[in-house]
Chains A and B, each alone.
Chain A
Amino acid sequence: MTQQGKEDSMSHVDEGALHAYLDGELPSAERAALEAHIAQCESCRAQLVEERALLDRANALLGAARPLERPVPSFEQLRRAPKRSPWRVRTPVAWAASIVLALGSGYYLASMRAYRVAPEAAAPIAVAMDQRLADKARDSAEVPQARRLAREERAERPRATPADERAFGQAVALGRVDSGALKVATSAEPLNNARPPETPQPTSGVARQREADSLAASDRAAASALPSAPAARMQQQDVLTVRKPSANTWPRIDRQTATAILGEDPVGLPDLTTRTFRRSPDRDGIVVVEQELDARTVIQIFQQSARANSSRIDSLVAEGYQYHLEADRRDRLARFVGKLRVEIGGPVSVDSLNRLLEQVGRLP
């Protein structure tokens, strides 16, 4: 595309910058420069692919040495020294509890990812908002801000996308993910409904009950129990939730990486064309194999080593993942294939999924 001489005159990208880029931690100006350079420098493009493989591999190794993710013990247990009034602690907890109730269990899962993107002033992964409220508040200057945040965050999602997939990545960032975000936003509604939309202030029953005990503490809880800066700016908005990205936007990996993550070959439908391998962004050892039923119908086969952590995937199925399925109006069924726990999902009938699931086996 470009002349060799021109390329050489530009300084090549060092591996540190590439890793920062892949980690989504390169400042935007440098990121733009890096992308511009990579677009025309074949050797740096190749290096990016290499570094990404290295990064995935290192993540997979670290994933093999992770503890089981057991349920988080109750915060109450931590209060051993009753030096201060119990309410001081309990009020925020009661608060937190009401928020958890309001958001549903998906919040917890999503929040596990939230800290990964938290650096920039704790910008949430995706800002899912009650559409009706968003419409109501459209005139507010804060809402475009909210949308911008959400979009920026989404646009950063394909940060692990190498240059050779850049076009795809941009398509995702500009089009598909936007509609994905909309889906997520819409699907957040039932959760939001669990709480009156007009009460973003901390007046839940539990909190109110505690007010008598400690007004001051409750005030503190009011300020601090709400998610930080960006959240506070978006006052019109009912509930801020962070969402696990839909599996469509999970980082792409190659088959070897999938094998490394699972500890064995990924499985799928032997007769179908495999389109993509992806891994869960949470490093929980979950891999999804995407296969084409036909040119327009993609089946997703989620899998995780059964020995890795069965309770973990079960809870994911029960919470976050199931949730996505509802958002996508799809069903998912599960079974064990050898040592892998496998789930299948796709825009076809349950019967078909069931039949397809029966055929899941070693990929050619």
Chain B
Amino acid sequence: MPDDIAEVYRNTYPALVRFLYRKVWDQGRAEDLAQEAFARALVHRPENTRGWLFVVAANMARDEARRAAREKRHLTLLKSEPDAVHSAPEDEIDADTQRVRVRAALDQLTPRDREALLLWDSGLSYDEIAAQTGLARGAIGTTLARARRRLVEAYDAAGEGGQHVARG
């Protein structure tokens, strides 16, 4: 029997938004796409709703990226989030800078490594990641290890040029 989508919705929506956000880098757009994915799930009633959602979301994000690439040539800096009431403007810039740098670092991963890392960070298990990416389950640990290392290295390498890094 198909999962109860309302239940999956509550449990998975924030994770799906997070997953999409790292792909489209726009909060509103990520939320729209996540809701669109759930709306489609309501129509399709897939057996494994969660897994299905992430597959659909990944496809939507890819289409979105292609479209965005056609429409805009320049990289839009992330807008400052209106909700962050407590922040001073400089903090916004700091946070944005860090986000942009993490984004740049993520871009340096191979698509497969990045996908595994983002799926893990969205709460998928190794089994689910394996199903999604086609990797063997036994290879997920190695993939994540490599992805994490490259992410940190790319981030640090970018920081060595000018700005200071919150380096551990």
Contact of A18 among B6, B7, B39, B141 (CB under 8 A): B141
Interface pair B126/A23, CB less than 8 Å apart: yes
Q: Which of B17, B141, B144 has the most CB of A within 10 A?
A: B141
Q: What A residues does B103 contact at CB under 8 A? A: 65
Contact assessment for A119 and B145 in the assembled complex, using a CB-CB cutoff below 8 Å: no
| Category for how many chain A residues contact B | 35 or more
> Does B7 contact A81, Cβ atoms closer than 8 Å?
no
Query: Could you tell me the distance in whole angstroms from the C-beta of B123 to the nearest C-beta in chain A?
Result: 4
Question: In the complex, which of the residues B5, B10, B102, B166 contacts A259, with contact meaning CB atoms closer than 8 Å?
Answer: B166
Q: Known: A53-B168, A81-B43, A260-B166. Is A19-B6 also a contact (CB below 8 A)?
A: no
In the bound complex, residues from chain B placing their C-beta under 8 Å from that of A46 are none
Closest Cβ of chain B to A69, distance in Å, is 6
CB contact between B83 and one of A59, A64, A68 (< 8 Å): that residue: A68
Q: Say if the beta carbon of A159 comes within 8 Å of chain B.
A: no
In the complex, A79→B98 CA distance in Å?
A: 37
Give the CA-CA distance A211 to B32 in the complex, in Å.
Answer: 32
A18, A23, A257 pick with most chain B CB within 10 angstroms: A23
Which one, A60, A92, A256, A259, contacts B4 given CB within 8 A?
Answer: A92
| Contact A75 to B9, CB < 8 A, known contacts A259-B166, A307-B84 | yes
Contact B99 A65 (CB under 8 A): yes
Answer yes or no: A104 CB below 8 A from chain B CBs: no
Q: Assess whether A80 is in contact with B39, with CB atoms less than 8 Å apart.
A: yes
Closest to A255 in B: B168
Q: Is A212 an interface position by the 8 A CB rule?
A: no
Q: Quick one: closest A residue to B9, CB to CB?
A: A75
Is B92 on the interface with A (CB-CB < 8 A)? yes
Q: Does A221 lie at the interface of the complex (its beta carbon under 8 Å from any beta carbon of B)?
A: yes
A28-59 vs B, CB cutoff 8 Å, 1 = contact: the mask equals: 00000000000000000000000101111111
Sort chain B's interface into a size bin: 35 or more
Cβ-closest chain A residue relative to B15: A115
Let me know if B58 is at the binding interface, CB within 8 A: no
Chain B residues with CB under 8 Å of A224's CB are 1-4, 7
Q: Which residue of A lies closest to B143 (CB)?
A: A16
- Bound CA span A263–B151, Å: 18
Q: Does A87 contact B (CB under 8 A)?
A: no
- The answer, among B1, B86, B167, for a CB contact under 8 Å with A310, is B86
Known contacts A23-B120, A220-B1; A14/B142 CB under 8 A: yes
B168 and A57: CB pair below 8 A? yes
The answer for the CA separation of A66 and B122 in the assembled complex, in Å, is 10
Is A89 positioned at the interface, with any CB of B under 8 Å from its CB?
yes
Which residues on B sit within 8 Å (CB–CB) of A341? 86
Within B114-143, which residues are at the interface with A (CB < 8 Å)? 117, 120-121, 123-128, 138-143
Given contacts A78-B42, A260-B168, A339-B91, whether A306 and B86 have CB atoms under 8 Å apart is: yes
CB-contacts of B58-105 with A (<8 A): 81, 83-87, 91-92, 94-95, 98-99, 102-103, 105
- Of A106-114, A233-241, A294-302, which stretch is located at the interface? A106-114
CA A79 to CA B2, docked complex, whole Å:
17
- A93 cross-chain contacts in B, Cβ below 8 A: 6
Question: Which residues from chain B contact A227 at a C-beta distance below 8 Å?
Answer: 7
* Complex Cα gap A257–B12 (Å): 27
The CA of A129 and the CA of B115, in the complex, are separated in Å by 37
CB atoms of A116 and B42 under 8 A apart: no
B10 touches A96 (CB 8 A): yes
Q: Is A20 an interface residue (CB 8 A)?
A: yes
A56 to B166: give the CA distance in the assembly, Å: 13
| A18–B147 CA distance with the chains assembled, in angstroms | 14
**In the assembled complex, A350 has its CB within 8 A of some CB on chain B:** no
Once bound together, how far apart are the Cα atoms of A341 and B85, in whole Å? Answer: 13
Q: In whole Å, how far is A45's beta carbon from the nearest beta carbon of chain B?
A: 17
Q: Name the residue on A nearest B154 (C-beta).
A: A61
Q: Is A137 an interface residue (CB 8 A)?
A: no
Most chain-B CB neighbours within 10 Å: which of A14, A19, A95, A339? Answer: A19
For the complex, give the distance between the alpha carbons of A80 and B42 in Å.
10
Choice from B4, B86, B125, B139 contacting A25 with Cβ under 8 Å: B125
Question: Can you list 25 pairs linking A and B with CB atoms under 8 Å apart?
Answer: A15-B142, A16-B140, A16-B141, A20-B144, A23-B120, A23-B141, A25-B126, A58-B151, A61-B105, A70-B83, A75-B5, A78-B35, A78-B38, A79-B39, A81-B43, A92-B4, A95-B4, A96-B4, A115-B11, A115-B50, A115-B124, A224-B7, A307-B95, A310-B86, A339-B91
New A-B contacts (13) at CB < 8 Å, excluding given A67-B27, A310-B85: A14-B142, A16-B140, A23-B141, A25-B126, A54-B148, A69-B14, A81-B39, A81-B43, A115-B11, A260-B167, A263-B166, A307-B86, A308-B95
